[in-house]
Structure 1
Amino acid sequence: MEKTVVILGGELAAEGRALLEEAGASVIATPPYVDRQAVVEIMKAYKPDAVIVRLLADLLGPEEMQAGGKLRHIAKHGVGTNDIDVKAATALGIPVSMTTGSNGHSVAEHALALIMALVKDLPRQDALIRDGIWDKNQYRGRELRGQRLGLVGFGFIGQTLARMAGAIGLIVSAFDPHTPDSAFHDGVCRETDLDTLLANSDIVSLHCPLTSETQNLIDARRIGLMKQGAFLINTARGEVVDENALIAALEEGHLAGAGLDSFAVEPPGIDNPLFQLSNTLVTPHVAGVTLDAKRAVSIMAAENVLAAFDGRTLEPRFLAR
């Protein structure tokens, strides 16, 4: 197989790269967060038959897709295709695949870890001890049992988190107009109104894709609906939340805390006010890239590319539209 695959925005796990190379493909990886002009130059230089998209500074658009003249497939390393112009790819006859289900368990675990750390007051307690303060009267931890968890988005990740949360004793509700009623079981209540979900939840965790409908979905008005002292968890996309409104709610004490794995601009500037607040817990968009998940995602992305090279049709759940 004389094919070229370019990985845009970082390297694959070794197992994924090996699959491509063992099939005879030449594999080139770029650094993370390459910008549009760099992508155009890379496409012209290597003329790839397929690209695997990891971390880009700009949207992968039609100019980049056509720059090399040979592109047959775009594989997303993950499930969020907001950095790919899927409509442009479709118009050009280039399928866009996703690694559906490959890292969902890791993301759900990460969301649960953020929930537990914040509700148990762990970041603040760690900071106090490191400052030489041993004062149990300053502990503000709460039990999770009996608290209400509201999930915004109830696909694979939301459903996985719901099972974990239910086992701990959280009362789980979810809002997702696109998920069938059959997915709501094991005590998970379907909420048909997002505002109601937000108003009734002690903890809100976001698991929806970034679309034109979900951009700034959690804005100042909706944050205002949340309970005094509630927590917001975002392992989805940063742009789903109005960051300025979130900062204001955290500074004013309306929200007790926020656990954030994604940001409106990535990588965010070191001066982002969210990093200066004592009631935030932040991670660098790593929920879905545990060592285990990265292997699974890389292997699936490579398999999607090889399927395209072999002329095989992928299952609909692996194709972006």
Structure 2
Amino acid sequence: MERTVVILGGELASEGRLVLEDAGVNVVSTQPYIDRQGVIEVMRVHRPDAVIVRLLADLLGPEEMRAGGQLRHIAKHGVGTNDIDVKAATALGIPVSMTTGSNGHSVAEHALALIMALAKDLPRQDALIRDGIWDKNQYKGRELRGQRLGLVGFGFIGQTLARMAGAIGMIVSAFDPHAPDDAFLDGIIRETDLDTLLASSDVVSLHCPLTPETQNLIDARRMGLMKRGAFLINTARGEVVDEKALVSALEDGHLAGAGLDSFAVEPPGTENPLFQLSNTLVTPHVAGVTLDAKRAVSVMSAENVLAVLNGKTLEPRFLAS
């Protein structure tokens, strides 16, 4: 019996698609940021056994899940399931999987790259030289050694970044009420109060999931607690940060800069005021999609799909709840 898997919102890496095709699966992919009505139509036409979710314009909700009539599994191409109504899927008896650990190292490296680029004043120096200005007196680079990095969220990505930052001499503290005590090794300081972490950090890097509790977690009040001249890094979800408050904090100089890989609305419009500021460094939500990570995520999401379709139970760490 032929089985069909639809990739919603873009294509898999060829290695991931091959995993499915070698197992005899019919694979269908859609364009990135497919909207709700587009998803419903695809589900009705192809009646997939499983879907792999990449980039959606809207939340994948119960109507879309039911539209195909035989959906058995939803696999997220990544670990952030905020674009999937997991509760609705659970109520319909459809397990939702994640590719836990597959791209975490790439995200941690990306966060470190944003930190270093801002600290070393690289975007501004690049712009000056391209404008014909060669003036070393305008360099405002900082040394990261001895600076305090505050991590909000201390799962695999946060822990990986902590080791990298520690290796270059940064002092690292982290806030995560869900992390076990044994995660805080090698001199990592456990901070039990988020406000205290923000107030004491020279760089704040966000690595928490998007939940009702973390929506606009970093708002105007909390930005006001941060040190004047601090940097904010976000490789988590854009909605964790109040973007309007961030623009104000950057415009008045309270924050020296922000490195952002995600935004409240994606893809964001070119009129987004964050793009008009000289002290922002922005990337298009690519921290976890290096060529290496994309291969790993695609293969793992395909393997998760096949495991479920073949009647196997995934390990709890791969399941959203």
Counterpart residue number, 1:140: 140
Aligned ranges 1:94-243 → 2 under 5 Å: 94-243=94-243
Looking at structure 1, the residues matched to 309 and 39 of structure 2 have their Cα atoms a distance apart, in angstroms, of 22
How far apart in 2 are the matches of 1:96 and 1:220? 34
Hey, what's the Cα distance between the residues in 2 that align with 1:50 and 1:17? 14
Give the counterpart letter for 1:265 in structure 2.
V
Letter in 2 for 1:150: G
CA distance in 1, matches of 2:43, 2:252: 48
* Residue of structure 1 equivalent to 2:265: 265
SS of alignment partner, residue 82 of structure 1: coil
Amino acid corresponding to residue 55 of structure 1 in structure 2:
L
What is the TM-score with the length of structure 2 in the denominator? 1.00
Distance 2:110 2:21 in 1: 32
Structure 1 outlier segments of 4+, above 4 Å: none
Structure 1, unmatched stretches of 5+, are none
Deviations 1:4-30 (A, max 9, x none): 000000000000000000000000000
The residue type equivalent to 2:289 in the other structure is: V
- Structure 1 counterpart of 2:86: 86
Distance in 2 separating the partners of 1:309 and 1:266: 31
Cross-structure match for 2:274: 274
Identity of aligned residues (%): 86
SS in structure 2 of the partner of residue 259 of structure 1: strand
Secondary structure in structure 1 of the residue aligned to 2:39: helix
Q: How far 1:2 moved relative to its partner? A: 1.2
Alignment of 1:242-253 (within 5 A): 242-253=242-253
Give per-residue Cα distances to partners, 1:163-196, cap 9 Å, x unaligned: 0000000000000000010100111000000000
Aligned residue identity for 2:314: L
Give the aligned partner of residue 68 of structure 2. Answer: 68
Q: State the alpha-carbon separation in 2 of the partners of residues 68 and 205 from structure 1.
A: 40
SS of residue paired to 1:224? helix
Tell me which residue corresponds to 1:318. 318
Paired residue secondary structure (2:278): coil
1:60-95 CA-partner distances (Å, limit 9, x unpaired): 000000000010000000000000000000000000
Aligned-pair CA distance for 1:120: 0.3
- Counterpart of 1:47 in structure 2 is 47
SS in structure 1 of the partner of residue 143 of structure 2? coil
Inter-partner Cα distance in structure 1 for 2:161 and 2:187: 13
Work out the CA distance in 2 between the residues paired with 1:186 and 1:279: 33
TM-score scaled by structure 1?
Answer: 1.00
CA shift, 1:39, in A, is 0.3
> What is the rounded CA distance, in whole Å, between the counterparts of 1:282 and 1:66 in structure 2?
37
Q: Using the alignment, how far apart are the partners of 1:160 and 1:315 within structure 2?
A: 22
Partner of 1:15: 15
Q: How far apart are the structure 1 equivalents of 2:175 and 2:90?
A: 30
Shift of 1:58: 0.3
